[in-house]
């Protein structure tokens, strides 16, 4: 049975309620990987399979970005921008020592992850393009 990436979002929500910094940082990371995997699955479905040899994250987000450039689809643009913002937060959470607004970063990330899945559901069934 394939893994349900929504479990990462549920885990992120649970971790976000904990008081310790490690849980909050991990909540951001899990929320990003939820967003990435649902976006990646959709991209492979509509744009064709990912070819090993290039980075999967770059490939995925490039599909949404180039579809926006080609079509000016606002939802595709929102998905691309949100994916990039959440990815940047994940990198900070995983690698930066000092995160002065960590609680806010967790809240923003989870809100964006929920909006992301709603936007993905509203995206034109043909997008992202190959």
Tally of CA atoms within 13 A in the half-sphere of 93 that contains its CB: 28
Going from N- to C-terminal start, the domains of the chain cover 6-122
Residue 1: the pLDDT is: 79
pLDDT of residue 2 exceeding 90: no
Q: Which two tokens stand for residue 12?
A: 């992120």
In the predicted model, what is the mean pLDDT of residues 81-101? 96
Residue 54: the pLDDT is: 78
| Number of other CB atoms surrounding residue 64 within 10 Å | 29
Q: State pLDDT tens for residues 56-89.
A: 999 999 999 999 999 999 999 999 999 999 999 9
- Note whether 10 and 30 are within 8 A (CB): no
The Cα-based distances of 20 to 16, 103, 111 in angstroms read 9, 10, 20
pTM: 0.95
Domain 6-122 belongs to what topology?
1.20.120
């Amino acid at each position: 049975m394939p893994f349900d990436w929504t479990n990462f979002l549920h885990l992120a929500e649970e971790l976000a309620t904990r008081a310790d910094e490690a849980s909050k940082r991990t909540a951001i990371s899990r929320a990003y990987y939820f967003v990435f995997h649902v976006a990646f699955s959709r991209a492979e479905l509509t744009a064709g399979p990912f070819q090993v040899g290039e980075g999967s994250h770059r490939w995925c987000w490039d599909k949404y970005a180039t579809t926006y450039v080609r079509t000016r689809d606002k939802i595709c643009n929102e998905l691309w921008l949100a994916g990039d913002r959440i990815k940047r937060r994940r990198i900070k959470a995983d690698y930066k020592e000092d995160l002065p607004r960590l609680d806010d970063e967790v809240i923003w990330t989870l809100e964006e992850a929920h909006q992301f899945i709603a936007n993905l559901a509203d995206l034109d069934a043909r997008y992202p393009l190959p």
